Amino acid sequence: AQTVTQSQPEMSVQEAETVTLSCTYDTSENNYYLFWYKQPPSRQMILVIRQEAYKQQNATENRFSVNFQKAAKSFSLKISDSQLGDTAMYFCAFMGTNAGKSTFGDGTTLTVKP
Amino acid sequence: DSGVTQTPKHLITATGQRVTLRCSPRSGDLSVYWYQQSLDQGLQFLIQYYNGEERAKGNILERFSAQQFPDLHSELNLSSLELGDSALYFCASSPRFTGELFFGEGSRLTVL
């Protein structure tokens, strides 16, 4: 069974600064997908970024980028130039390439301070 | 707007009752997933359907059941409700082979 661990329950960052959220996972699969989802106070789940395990290049989406270390089973999210609207809970998620059962971490609550 | 529609948005009911939550996936998506999120907790995977067939099962209670219909909409049935079933229930759909999940806005169930 896959597990996803987010070791930082809460983090805070000053507006315009950079913050990194950690995620580690455990799996015996070789091919899989990893995701970061954002859940703002509205509770809507929003995809932030996606990484395919067979791709060595780290995914980037504007101010969001990941550091994917497959051997270490680590998948951290870096948010650059943090904005107040980035305040949310962030979930790391794993899905096998059969796209079946998915596993979410417990989340990291990020607060961006003005 | 993710394109995934969930109804009802809010539901208040009593212990012992039965409710049905409905989900319409994005146009073209064959996979539907159901998740439960209790207060301030992570998402627990319940069940996945692909084109009408059950594909994967998580920690879904025996009191809960789901199905996906020929038009691809899905329903999650929760019966003999208990106080602990109060939660936000999400439905998500996925394009084939990408694994990416598009979430609905959730159905908030309150059991009194």
Q: What is the mean pLDDT of residues B82-86?
A: 95
Residues 6+ apart with CB under 8 A from B92: A45, B4, B32, B33, B35, B101, B102, B103, B104
Mean pLDDT of A95-105: 79
Is B99 within 8 Å of A106 when comparing Cβ atoms?
no
pLDDT-derived band at A84 (thresholds 50, 70, 90) equals very high
Residues of B with CB under 8 A from a CB of A: 31, 33, 35, 41-45, 48, 55-58, 88, 90, 92, 94, 96-103, 105-106
How far, in Å, CA of A56 to CA of B14, rounded?
51
pLDDT confidence band for A99 (50 / 70 / 90): low
Which pair of structure tokens corresponds to residue B36?
A: 């439960």
Q: Which of B35, B55, B100 sits opposite A100 (nearest CB)?
A: B55
Q: Taking phi first (over 0 means left), then psi (-120 to 50 degrees means alpha), and beta for anything else, what does residue B70 get?
A: alpha
What is the rounded average pLDDT for all residues in chain A?
Answer: 93
Asked if pLDDT for residue A31 goes beyond 90, the answer is: no
Can you give the pLDDT at residue B97? 66
Q: How far is CA B53 from CA A78, A100, B58, B78, in A?
A: 38, 12, 15, 19
The string of pLDDT tens digits covering residues A32-71 is 999 999 999 888 999 999 999 988 899 999 999 999 999 9
* pLDDT over 70, % of chain A: 97
Q: For B16-58, how does the pLDDT look when each residue is reduced to its tens digit (9 = 90+)?
A: 999 999 999 999 999 999 999 998 678 999 999 999 999 888 8
Which residues contact residue A59 at a Cβ distance below 8 angstroms, ignoring those fewer than 6 apart?
A49, A50, A51, A65, A66, A68
pLDDT at A98: 67
User: Which runs of E-coded beta strand occur in B51-86?
Assistant: 53-57, 64-68, 74-78
* pLDDT of the residue at A30: 86
Residue A28 pLDDT > 80: yes
Mean pLDDT rounded to a whole number for chain B: 93
* Percent residues over pLDDT 90 in chain A: 81
A99 contacts B98? CB cut-off 8 A: yes
- Nearest by CB: B56 against A50, A93, A100: A100
Is A45's CB within 8 Å of B90's CB?
Answer: yes
CA A22, distance to chain mean position in Å, is 7
Q: Positive or negative CA dihedral for A39, A40, A42, A44?
A: negative
